[in-house]
Amino acid sequence: MRCPYCQKAETKVVDTTHDTRGGVRRRRECESCGQRFSTYERPILNTPLIIKRDGTREEFDRDKLIRGIRISCAKTTVTASEIDEMVNDIESYLQQAGRQEVSSRVIGDRVIERLKNLNLIAYIRYAIVYLQLTDLHAIRNEIDQLLEGE
């Protein structure tokens, strides 16, 4: 592991902890400059190809999903750990499905469902893009449905 400060390859592991999802967090120290940093390792399991709306296929991109959800959750009470948990659950679901290809709709539906229960403002923000709510009447109808459900 290269030191992010001096780029030397000589580092030693100071501490190791395991999480419940099989990941390993290692605290490292550079033997050259003495700086400490952490690394996180998690197993890479196969995820299916994602079939987009336009029919193209791409690899599942965990970081892309996190970015999209974070944009929807900006300036809300949704925490980073709640977003990580949501993405972990979705990724785990995709891996356990055992399919080679999955529609992007499956991912979007799971995100929408979770956001609806987590934070309604984040839900509306995500729904505007995901459900392609292109005018104010469509957005208002979605909000009205939410208000009727309360």
| Percentage of residues of the chain with pLDDT beyond 90 | 67
The confidence band for 21, taking pLDDT boundaries of 50, 70 and 90, is low
Per-residue pLDDT tens digits for 47-68 = 889 999 999 999 999 999 999 9
Measure the CA–CA gap between 3 and 51, rounded to whole angstroms: 38
Q: Which helix (H) or strand (E) holds 124?
A: helix 120-130
CB atoms under 10 Å from CB of 122, counted, come to: 25
Is the pLDDT reported for residue 44 higher than 70? Answer: no
Helix 62-73 crosses helix 104-118 at what angle (to 10 degrees)?
30
- Averaged pLDDT score across all residues of the chain: 90
pLDDT of residue 20: 66
pLDDT of residue 99: 86
Per-residue pLDDT tens digits for 64-110 = 999 999 999 999 999 999 999 999 899 988 888 888 899 999 999 99
What secondary structure, in 3-state letters, does 59-86 show?
Answer: CCCHHHHHHHHHHHHCCCCCCHHHHHHH
pLDDT of residue 57: 95
**Strand-pair partners of 58:** 50
Q: What is the mean pLDDT of the segment spanning 113-141? A: 92
